[in-house]
Amino acid sequence: MEPEREGTERHPRKVRKRRQAPNKLVGAAEAMKASWDLEESQPEAKKARLSTILFTDNCEVTHDQLCELLKYAVLGKSNVPKPSWCQLFHQNHLNNVVVFVLQGMSQLHFYRFYLEFGCLRKAFRHKFRLPPPSSDFLADIVGLQTKQRAGDLPKTMEGPLPSNAKATINLQNDPIIQKYGCKKVGLTRCLLTKEEMRTFHFPLQGFPECENFLLTKCNGSIADNSPLFGLDCEMCLTSKGRELTRISLVAEGGCCVMDELVKPENKILDYLTSFSGITKKILNPVTTKLKDVQRQLKALLPPDAVLVGHSLDLDLRALKMIHPYVIDTSLLYVREQGRRFKLKFLAKAILGKDIQCPDRLGHDATEDARIILELAQYFLKYGPKKIAELNLEALANHQEIQAAGQEPRNTTEILQHPNTSVLECLDSVGQKLLFLTRETDAGELASSRNCQTIKCLSNKEVLEQARVEIPLFPFSIVQFSFKAFSPILTEEMNKRMRIKWTEISTVYAGPFSKNCNLRALKRLFKSFGPVQSMTFVLETRQPHLCIQYEVLEAAQLAIESLDGILVDGTCIKVQRPVTELTLDCETLVNELEGDSENQGSIYLFGVSETFKEQLLQEPRLFLGLEAVILPKDLKNGKQKKYCFLKFKSFGSAQRALNILTGKDWKLKGRHALTPRHLHAWLRGLPPESRRPAGLRVVPPPFEQEALQTLKLDHPKIAAWRWGRKIGKLYNSLCPGTLCLILLPGTKSTHGSLSGLGLMGIKEEEESTISGL
């Protein structure tokens, strides 16, 4: 039997009133809390959503805080505390969690090759800084503690189940009664609806990933006396993912009508013998192919056949077949919070039969198919009330306690303990974590018991396996490994970043007359934003001004407002210095303005200390306002004269910009260019004076050679290639998937580089990856 996916979709829980927002929330986001409370309580909100403001003063999210979010995404607010640094609305509508880790990359990589990472930065609206990593980044973000290793997690219990669980039975609260009622139900009531099949990822006609799937052509009318067939498949792991190695079909009465071994089309990497019972010796003489069993199964099934399986979606995907009438016993026997009972447990608890015994090599597909069929027949014969009276939840909890060899403990207290790991959270809902990585970079996580690890030889193989495996698991971590910058190159890259940002935030203006009013000119250029320095350039025939702004937005606003105007009868030109680092400046500015995190953000200059209060007194003028970010002087702590406003949408931001730069408010402003975490990072960099005119920043010889020969392992090329590949993979994820892209940063004896995180929920944002 294929390793069971114990839990997937969570059942919606009653929405509770939100707790108070953390004290670290900056600016006017405190004033937005009331609107968030109202929004979450509205019944029409059906999709999981992330807030657009992070509750961090410096935009840095620690590894422990990242672990908070991952645990909350798994269990929700009824079991674990909410994350302290962000808002995740309607967590119960999340379908999956996928974490991509780009080991060896850092925030410096992302902004040094900002244009090359186009697919990722356009797809993810939420970005944050990460501290330099420890020795095991993955162990940190999933919360693995030194004392809590793989062997400490509960193991599957062997031996008899208790005949009766000592727990109070409240039938009305039993999820089976809540779904089916107390009376017996017919076969048609147990069938999965098309919507349920879509939710639980069954192959369906018309779906892009099912284009080559074969239809069983069972299109007869279904009645309560339609024939049932138990189906179970075994798989192995090949170079193209999981492929079928055995199929068993059992008819009513227990007769096995089909039991075939199947030779996969692609190279076998792992026979998964502990689950499938299949070995190389068994499969070597087999000549039957997938198309053969497809043809045989199609011929065997009558028009009104109902297939019964346990996690049947996995079996149908392995068969590459579509069947419209299905009963899934992992969903028929409903469990709390969307969890699923294991087939082995149901066989013992319901039928009193032992299957999948430890002394046997792997599972017996025919035995499993027969048990699956008997479970469906038992449900139809005795009805939901009889099953609810068995108190399966209490039996399962008793089994887990015995397996762990512990005294009964309060599960809620365990989960709410700050040292609880993501693996324990997944284990509590019967789920496993998928971990895909290169064999040489596996680390501690790979040996954890509740983790399905697939080790690959290359990043390319990791990517291929991810396409196949991610849909089969509710929580996945996919790790790609890249060569980190050498210390010399790191220092060079940092230097270039500082120089480049200084130069694109600098403008030259002129020519001016020799009798110009210098005080008026300084006042004019200071009206667009904070100025770091302003000097006269006297090398030219007529004087020019060189103005270095503190923020990029101020420089861009000065260019847009003053280039080409008349000053004392002379037409002046306002432009950036032209160097090799600013040659693509226009493209960079356009891309920054189109960055998904900047959509809905505006920059304003000329704000007073009472600006926030004035803003909040006019809530109807600024609908959709989510945050006011008021930077402070790092030396004296005073509020600066510029700010950033963040809105829910671009349209709301544009309306506010028109009002605030109008005659009533008289502020200068434009759409934002620097994401908040980037602005905080750049402010923290040591100042870099402009390099003298004519000084060239020459790449090291090996980098020049790499660029000339377009070597694929060059950082620039790698950023472009893998940004696009991961972007395509993200595009293929199912809606409602919480996705994180983590560049962990680097740490060595030569110094440390901060990491960067990008996150979003698939189809949450209006902007999607374009041009793929």
Q: pLDDT at residue 759 above 80?
A: yes
Pairing of strands 321-322, 214-215: parallel
- Higher per-residue confidence, 493 vs 479: 479
- Higher per-residue confidence, 623 vs 249: 249
The half-sphere exposure of 183 on its side-chain side, counting CA atoms within 13 A, is 3
Pairing of strands 506-510, 573-575: antiparallel
Tell me the per-residue pLDDT of 340-380, one tens digit each, with 9 for 90 and over: 888 988 998 898 888 877 666 677 899 999 999 999 999 99
Tell me the per-residue pLDDT of 251-262, one tens digit each, with 9 for 90 and over: 988 889 999 999
Q: pLDDT at residue 407 above 70?
A: no
Which pLDDT score, from 0 to 100, does residue 707 have?
A: 43
Q: pLDDT at residue 547 above 60?
A: yes
Lowest mean pLDDT among 142-146, 584-588, 683-687, 746-750: 683-687
Tell me the per-residue pLDDT of 12-53, one tens digit each, with 9 for 90 and over: 434 333 333 333 333 434 444 444 444 444 444 467 888 756
Whether the full predicted model's pTM is greater than 0.85, yes or no, is no
> Dihedral angle at the C-alpha atoms of 88, 92, 96, 99, nearest 10 degrees?
30
Q: pLDDT at residue 167 above 50?
A: no
- Highest mean pLDDT among 112-116, 130-134, 329-333 belongs to 329-333
DSSP assignment string, 505-548: TEEEEE---TT--HHHHHHHHHTTS-EEEEEEE-SSSS-EEEEE
- Higher per-residue confidence, 368 vs 2: 368
Instruction: Provide the pLDDT confidence category of residue 245 given band limits of 50, 70 and 90.
Output: very high
Would the CA dihedral through 132, 138, 142, 148 be positive or negative?
negative
Which pLDDT score, from 0 to 100, does residue 678 have?
A: 74
Q: Which of 56, 96, 55 is nearest to 73 (CA)?
A: 96
- Highest mean pLDDT among 3-12, 282-291, 741-750 belongs to 282-291
Cα–Cα separations (whole angstroms), residue 752 to 104, 111, 491: 12, 16, 11
Lowest mean pLDDT among 99-113, 334-348, 521-535, 577-591: 334-348
The Cα 605–Cα 708 span in angstroms is: 44
The Cα 373–Cα 377 span in angstroms is: 6
Tell me the per-residue pLDDT of 300-309, one tens digit each, with 9 for 90 and over: 999 999 999 9
- CB proximity list for 515: less than 8 A, separation 6 or greater: 568
Domains by residue range for the chain, with CATH: 52-137+418-484+738-766 (no CATH), 185-382 (3.30.420.10), 503-594 (3.30.70.330), 595-684 (3.30.70.330)
Instruction: Provide the pLDDT confidence category of residue 539 given band limits of 50, 70 and 90.
Output: confident
Chain centroid to Cα 377, Å, comes to: 40
Q: pLDDT at residue 696 above 80?
A: no
- DSSP character at residue 580: T
Per-residue burial over 607-637, b if 16 or more Cβ lie within 10 Å, else e, is beeebbeebeeeeeebebbbbbbbbeeeeee
Tell me the per-residue pLDDT of 83-93, one tens digit each, with 9 for 90 and over: 888 888 888 88
Which pLDDT score, from 0 to 100, does residue 321 have?
A: 95
Cα–Cα separations (whole angstroms), residue 606 to 27, 103, 645: 17, 42, 14
Lowest mean pLDDT among 72-86, 289-303, 339-353: 72-86
Tell me the per-residue pLDDT of 376-396, one tens digit each, with 9 for 90 and over: 999 999 999 999 888 888 787
The half-sphere exposure of 694 on its side-chain side, counting CA atoms within 13 A, is 0
- Higher per-residue confidence, 314 vs 147: 314
The Cα 578–Cα 115 span in angstroms is: 19
Residue carrying the six token digits 């008997």: 374
Lowest mean pLDDT among 136-150, 366-380, 478-492: 136-150
Q: pLDDT at residue 127 above 80?
A: yes
- Highest mean pLDDT among 26-35, 430-439, 693-702 belongs to 430-439
Percent of the chain with pLDDT over 90: 34
Lowest mean pLDDT among 50-54, 610-614, 717-721: 50-54
Which pLDDT score, from 0 to 100, does residue 109 have?
A: 87
Which pLDDT score, from 0 to 100, does residue 147 have?
A: 38
User: Which pair of structure tokens corresponds to residue 543?
Assistant: 């004087």
Which pLDDT score, from 0 to 100, does residue 260 have?
A: 94
Hey, what amino acid is at 542?
A: Q
Which pLDDT score, from 0 to 100, does residue 353 have?
A: 87
Which pLDDT score, from 0 to 100, does residue 731 have?
A: 86
Q: Answer for the pair 233, 225: CB distance below 8 angstroms, yes or no.
A: no
User: What average pLDDT does this structure show over 644-669?
Assistant: 90
Lowest mean pLDDT among 123-132, 169-178, 473-482, 521-530: 169-178
210 sits in which H/E element: none
Instruction: Provide the pLDDT confidence category of residue 415 given band limits of 50, 70 and 90.
Output: low
Which pLDDT score, from 0 to 100, does residue 296 have?
A: 94
Phi, psi values for residue 116, rounded to 5°: -70, -25
Which pLDDT score, from 0 to 100, does residue 409 have?
A: 45
Q: pLDDT at residue 159 above 70?
A: no
The Cα 590–Cα 721 span in angstroms is: 22
Q: Which of 298, 104, 309 is nearest to 191 (CA)?
A: 309
The Cα 53–Cα 66 span in angstroms is: 15
Which pLDDT score, from 0 to 100, does residue 594 have?
A: 83
